[in-house]
Structure 1
Amino acid sequence: KFFGDNLFRDWRYNADGSLNKDFVLNNPTYGGQVLVAGKNFGSGSSREHAAWAIAGYGFRVVVSSFFADIHKNNELNNFVLPVVVTEGFLQELFDSIEADPKMEVEVNLPEQIIINKATGKSEHFEINAYKKHCLMNGLDDIDFLLSNKDKIEEWEKKA
């Protein structure tokens, strides 16, 4: 939770520690588990703490037209799904949010589709098959290995 409390700290809080009422995440009108972000999200945020903060704040999905590679992998390792969309679709999401801050975005991981519920438009997104399996089954890398312990031991006997 601590990391989530400090997500976007310099924007969320004023110098005196009070909430910046002009920052979108401090506005109760906006909220949810999907963060719609600008392009090149995570650039300069390769440290795992950035992904911890996103997950700790409560986000389960981040949508952008581009992610910095290390940050994208750190999000996946922290059970946050980075969804890459076209710049046009991203702009449509921002336009829909501006028109109605309570609009909904649906993310269907099994089908790898993101839907703008305000317009009905959707896009397919890519995800590594291994990471998709892990997200859908609540497995981190160690859990995945442990779930395959019998197969690994059998393979080692043959080697």
Structure 2
Amino acid sequence: MQAFTSLDGLVAPLDRNNVDTDAIVPKQFLKSIARTGFGRHLFDELRFMDDGELGQDPDSRQKNPDFSLNQPRYQGAQILLTRENFGCGSSREHAPWALYDYGFRAIVAVSFADIFYDNCFKNGILPVSLDAAIINQLFDEVQATPGYRLSIDLAEQTVKTPSGQVLDFTLDPTRKRRLLEGLDDIAITLADADAIRSYEQVRIKQEPWLFEIPR
């Protein structure tokens, strides 16, 4: 997993509460367990005017001109700004996969659904929770300022606005370490590979019948 230390990125707004994982990546596209390729289906029902189906070429479909990600000023955005309870609904890990594959590396919101929040840290995305009043301010500034960017420093746990305002956010130390060092679940397990092998050798000697192959 790619480590996250700091990010200076263009901000794209998604002015909605309770965006669920089916809105992030609709169910008809969940046909793969690979982590790549889902970005083209991100917010499909919001981005396009028709009902999307697996295998369609996104370039051949009519885009919704009112949706922020379709507007030229937000192309290449790496930070998504949204509101309360982002990522609610089913626990599909495809949701952060789609966000990451599209290009988002951080999400700034009032709050997140618990499972989605945890899945972000396992997939290289930093979810930042800020007070509703601050989120309102950021939405106003994004709307008024084309090319609006935020600078996020994970080590310092700060978000800096173009005006120089510094916003602090809280984070669990273990989750923070995961992102700073780029550790997903597999990497964390492999860090104890020697201890796991030693344990297995002891088990083989103590209970060899558990490891016998039936004939």
Pairwise same-fold verdict (TM > 0.5): yes
Cross-structure match for 2:100 = 55
Provide the rounded CA distance (Å) in 2 between the counterparts of 1:151 and 1:32: 42
Per-residue deviation, residues 65-118 of structure 1 (Å, max 9, x unmatched): 11010111111111111000011111111111011131111110000111122x
Moved more, 108-117 or 15-24: 15-24
Cα distance change on mapping 1:130 and 1:59 into 2, 3 Å: same
Match of 1:74 among 107, 116, 119: 119
Q: How many residues align?
A: 156
Structure index of larger Rg: 2
Per-residue deviation, residues 6-29 of structure 1 (Å, max 9, x unmatched): 111001011173111211001120
Given that residues 122 and 183 in structure 2 are in contact (C-alpha distance below 8 angstroms), is that contact kept between their aligned partners in structure 1?
no
- Give the secondary structure class of the aligned counterpart of 1:2: coil
Cross-structure match for 2:43 = 8
Provide the rounded CA distance (Å) in 2 between the counterparts of 1:107 and 1:156: 43
Runs of 4+ in 1 over 3 A off after TM superposition: 148-157
The answer to whether the aligner puts 1:101 opposite 2:146 as a matched pair is yes
The answer to whether the aligner puts 1:125 opposite 2:169 as a matched pair is yes
Shift of 1:152: 6.4
The one of the two structures with greater contact order (alpha-carbon pairs below 8 A, sep at least 6) is 2
The answer to whether the aligner puts 1:138 opposite 2:189 as a matched pair is no
The answer to whether the aligner puts 1:26 opposite 2:61 as a matched pair is no
Cα distance change on mapping 1:44 and 1:101 into 2, 3 Å: farther
CA RMSD of aligned residues (A): 2.1
Cross-structure match for 1:84 = 129
Provide the rounded CA distance (Å) in 1 between the counterparts of 2:152 and 2:90: 24
Given that residues 121 and 178 in structure 2 are in contact (C-alpha distance below 8 angstroms), is that contact kept between their aligned partners in structure 1?
no
Shift of 1:122: 2.1
Given that residues 151 and 159 in structure 2 are in contact (C-alpha distance below 8 angstroms), is that contact kept between their aligned partners in structure 1?
yes
Unmatched 5+ stretches in structure 2: 1-35, 52-60, 202-215
TM-score (norm 1): 0.88
Letter in 2 for 1:128: D
Shift of 1:123: 1.8
Unmatched 5+ stretches in structure 1: none
Letter in 1 for 2:39: G
Shift of 1:64: 0.2
- Give the secondary structure class of the aligned counterpart of 1:93: helix
- Give the secondary structure class of the aligned counterpart of 2:117: helix
